[in-house]
C-alpha cells in the first residue's frame, strides 16, 4: 500500500480546516469538522469523595519527552483508593500527522495513545482510562515521563498540547465499586532490559505488553506485507502474520495476536478518521499474558530472563514497540511461595502464505493461513492451599490480499482469532477475541482516491466454575467508513466526501451498553443510545 500511502501523507498534512460543521451535513468536507469522538462507554466512577492531580502538561513539537514529578493525593483514601481514572485532554491545530505517545509513571507505562489529525482552526479531544491496576505505583512519589513524538516546521505546523490528570476515588459503596479482583500488589516495569526478579511470595503473575506496529514504515501496515517473491511495496519474508511472544528463561511462556490498529492517517485516507477514529486508536490496550504457571520458578529470588518479541517481523526492521509491565499479586500469609511448572506444550507455528501472480487482466493475490497453540500448567503452594493454574491459548489468522499492477487497487480481507483460557482450581475464564478487517483502496479516474473499510473488535468472556457457567459478557466494537477525494491537487480542489459509522455494544450478564455514531462530510449526524 505504500504507493497510496505517499498520496495519503500529502493529503493528510496539506489539508486545512475551519469552522465547525453545521447540523445539516455539507455536500463535501469543508475547512473544519466535528471534534474527534468515539462510541466507547465512559469509565464509570464511584459516588465517593474524589481528588484530582495533574500528572503532566506539555506542548509537544519534537521528540523531547516531558519530565516531571508526581505526588499522590493525601486525601481520598491515601493509597487505598476504590478507583483511579486517567484523563488526557488534547488540542492541536494546523497541519500534522497522527502521532504515537505514552505516559510513564515511576517507569511504568500506564497509557499509550495516538493522536487525531487536526484542522487549521483546531480540534480538541479527550480520552479516559481506568488505571486502578497501577494503584501501587501511584501510591508514592514518582518520576513522570510523557512523550508524543512530533515534528513541527514550515509544513507540519501542529503543536500537540496535552494535559494528563488522575482522579482518585475513595473506596466505598456506590458507582461501580465492585471489583472482581483487587489490584496487583506490585507493578514492575520490564524496562529496556529483560531481567526480572519477582517477590518471593508471588502467587499470581501477569505480563502486560503495549505492543504497537508503527513509525511510518511498512510495519505500520504489517497486515499488508507480502513475501519477497510477490511484487508489492511492503515486504516481509514470511508474509503478514505477526505474533507477540513472551519467553521466560528462553522457554515460550505466552503467545498473542496483536490488534491490527489503524491510525488516523491509515488506509490512504485521513477523511475516514477525522471524527471517528478506528477501534483502540486513542486508547491502546495492552496484551495480557498469565504467567502464573511460572510463579514457582520465578519465586526463587534470582533474576530471570523475560523477553518480548514479535514473530514474523522482518529481521533488522524497526517499527514495533513492546513496553512491558509485570503485575504481581502476593501472598500476605507467606514470605516464600513455592511451586513448579507441571506442563508445557508448544505447538509448531503454522504459517503458509501462497502467492498467485497477477496479469494485466487479473489481480495479484496472497492467501495466508496461520495458527499457533500453547498450553502451560503449574502450581503454587500458598497460605490458603495449593493453587493449580493452566493457561491455554490458540491463535489463528486467515487473510486474502489482492492488488493490481502499480497498487492502484489494494484490498484486504482478514480475520484474526485469539482464544485464551485460564483455569484455576476448577474455575475458568475463557476469552475469545476476534479482530476483522475488510478494506479496499482504489485510485480511479480523475485521480479520485476512494477507501471503503470495515473493522471489527469483538471479545466474548465466559466464566465457569467446575464446568457450570457463572457469567458471560460480550464487547463488540464495529467501524465502517467510505471516503473519496481527488489526489495530487491543491487542497481546495480535493472535493472530499465521506461517511463513517461506529457501533459499540456491551451485553451479557453484566448489563447492556449500545451506542451508535454516524458522520457525513465531517458532521456528526447520528448519536444514538439503545440501552
pLDDT in tens, 437-449: 999 999 999 999 9
Whether 208 contacts 324, CB under 8 Å: yes
pLDDT score recorded for residue 491: 76
Beta-strand relationship, 409-424 and 497-508: unpaired
In sequence order, what DSSP letters do the residues of 324-371 get, joined into one string? EEEEEEE-TT-S--EEEEEEEEE---EEEEEEE--BTTB-EEEEEEEE
Distance CA 390, CA 415 (A): 27
DSSP state of 482: E
pTM: 0.93
* Cα distances (Å, whole numbers) of residue 368 to 68, 356, 414: 47, 11, 9
Q: What pLDDT, on the 0 to 100 scale, is given for residue 445? A: 93
The total domain count for the chain is 1
Instruction: Locate all alpha helices (DSSP H) within 95-224, ordered by sequence.
Output: 135-138
**How many H helices and E strands in the chain?**
3, 29
Gyration radius from the chain CA atoms: 24
Dihedral sign for Cα 268, 222, 289, 461, please: positive
C-alpha grid cell, residue 454: 470495515
418 Cβ contact list (under 8 Å, min separation 6)? 256, 257, 393, 394, 395, 432, 433, 434, 435
Give the integer Cα–Cα distance in Å for 102 and 147. Answer: 6
- Give the C-alpha separation, 443 to 459, whole Å: 35
Of 108, 36, 33, 28, which is closest to residue 70 (Cα–Cα)? 108
Note the pLDDT of residue 193: 66
> What is the 8-class DSSP label of residue 406?
G
Nearest CA-CA partner of 501 in 260, 277, 266, 267: 277
Residues constituting the chain: 531
| C-alpha span between 504 and 42 (Å, rounded) | 12
Domain that includes residue 485, residue range: 2-529
Q: Is 63 exposed, middle or buried (0-12, 13-18, 19+ CB in 10 A)?
A: exposed
Cβ neighbourhood burial of 241 (10 Å; 0-12, 13-18, 19+): buried
Low-confidence ranges of the chain (pLDDT < 70): 1-23, 173-181, 192-193, 215-216
Amino acid at each position: 500500500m505504500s504507493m497510496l500511502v505517499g498520496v495519503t501523507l500529502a493529503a493528510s498534512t496539506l489539508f486545512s480546516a475551519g469552522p465547525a460543521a453545521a447540523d445539516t451535513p455539507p455536500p463535501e468536507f469543508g475547512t473544519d469538522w466535528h471534534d474527534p469522538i468515539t462510541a466507547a462507554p465512559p469509565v464509570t466512577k464511584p459516588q465517593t469523595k474524589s481528588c484530582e492531580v495533574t500528572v503532566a502538561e506539555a506542548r509537544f513539537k519534537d521528540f523531547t519527552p516531558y519530565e516531571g514529578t508526581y505526588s499522590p493525593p493525601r486525601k481520598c483514601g491515601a493509597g487505598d483508593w476504590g478507583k483511579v481514572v486517567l484523563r488526557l485532554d488534547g488540542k492541536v491545530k494546523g497541519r500534522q500527522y497522527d502521532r504515537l505517545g505514552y505516559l510513564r509513571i515511576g517507569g511504568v507505562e500506564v497509557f499509550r495513545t495516538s493522536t487525531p489529525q487536526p484542522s487549521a482552526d483546531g480540534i480538541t479531544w479527550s480520552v479516559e482510562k481506568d488505571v486502578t491496576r497501577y494503584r501501587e505505583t501511584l501510591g508514592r512519589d514518582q518520576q513522570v515521563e510523557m512523550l508524543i513524538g512530533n515534528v513541527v516546521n514550515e509544513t507540519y505546523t501542529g503543536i500537540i498540547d496535552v494535559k494528563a490528570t488522575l482522579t482518585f476515588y475513595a473506596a466505598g459503596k456506590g458507582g461501580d465499586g465492585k471489583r472482581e479482583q483487587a489490584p496487583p500488589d506490585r507493578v514492575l516495569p520490564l524496562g529496556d532490559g529483560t531481567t526480572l526478579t519477582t517477590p518471593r511470595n508471588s502467587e499470581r503473575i501477569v505480563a502486560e505488553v503495549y505492543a504497537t506496529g508503527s513509525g511510518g514504515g511498512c510495519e505500520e501496515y504489517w497486515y499488508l506485507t507480502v513475501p519477497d517473491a510477490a511484487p508489492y511495496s511492503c515486504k516481509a519474508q514470511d508474509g503478514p502474520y505477526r505474533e507477540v511472544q513472551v519467553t521466560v528463561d528462553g522457554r515460550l511462556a505466552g503467545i498473542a495476536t496483536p490488534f491490527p490498529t489503524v491510525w488516523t492517517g491509515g488506509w490512504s485516507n485521513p477523511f475516514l478518521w477525522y471524527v471517528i477514529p478506528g477501534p483502540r486508536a486513542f486508547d491502546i490496550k495492552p496484551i495480557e499474558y498469565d504467567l502464573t504457571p511460572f510463579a514457582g520458578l520465578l519465586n526463587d529470588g534470582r533474576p530471570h530472563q523475560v523477553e518480548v518479541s514479535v514473530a514474523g517481523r522482518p529481521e533488522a526492521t524497526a517499527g514495533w514497540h513492546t513496553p512491558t509491565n509485570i503485575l504481581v499479586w502476593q501472598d500476605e500469609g507467606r514470605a516464600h511461595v513455592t511451586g513448579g511448572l507441571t506442563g508445557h506444550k508448544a505447538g509448531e507455528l503454522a504459517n503458509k502464505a501462497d502467492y498467485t501472480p497477477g496479469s494485466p487482466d487479473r489481480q495479484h493475490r496472497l492467501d495466508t493461513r496461520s495458527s499457533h497453540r500453547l498450553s502451560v500448567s503449574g502450581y503454587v503452594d500458598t497460605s490458603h492451599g495449593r493453587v493449580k493454574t493452566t493457561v491455554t491459548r490458540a491463535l489463528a489468522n486467515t487473510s486474502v490480499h489482492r492488488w493490481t499492477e502499480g497498487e492502484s487497487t489494494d484490498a484486504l480481507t482478514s480475520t484474526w482469532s485469539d482464544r485464551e483460557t485460564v483455569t484455576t482450581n476448577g474455575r475458568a475464564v475463557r476469552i475469545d477475541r476476534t479482530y476483522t478487517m475488510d478494506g479496499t483502496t482504489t485510485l480511479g479516474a480523475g485521480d479520485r482516491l476512494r477507501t471503503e473499510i470495515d473493522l471489527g473488535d469483538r471479545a466474548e468472556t465466559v466464566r465457569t466454575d467446575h464446568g457450570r457457567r457463572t457469567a458471560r459478557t460480550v464487547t463488540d466494537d464495529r467501524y465502517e467508513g467510505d471516503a473519496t477525494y481527488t489526489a495530487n491537487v491543491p487542497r481546495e480542489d480535493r472535493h472530499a466526501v465521506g461517511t463513517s459509522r461506529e457501533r459499540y455494544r456491551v451485553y451479557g450478564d453484566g448489563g447492556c451498553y449500545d451506542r451508535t455514531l454516524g458522520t457525513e462530510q465531517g458532521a456528526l449526524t447520528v448519536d444514538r443510545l439503545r440501552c
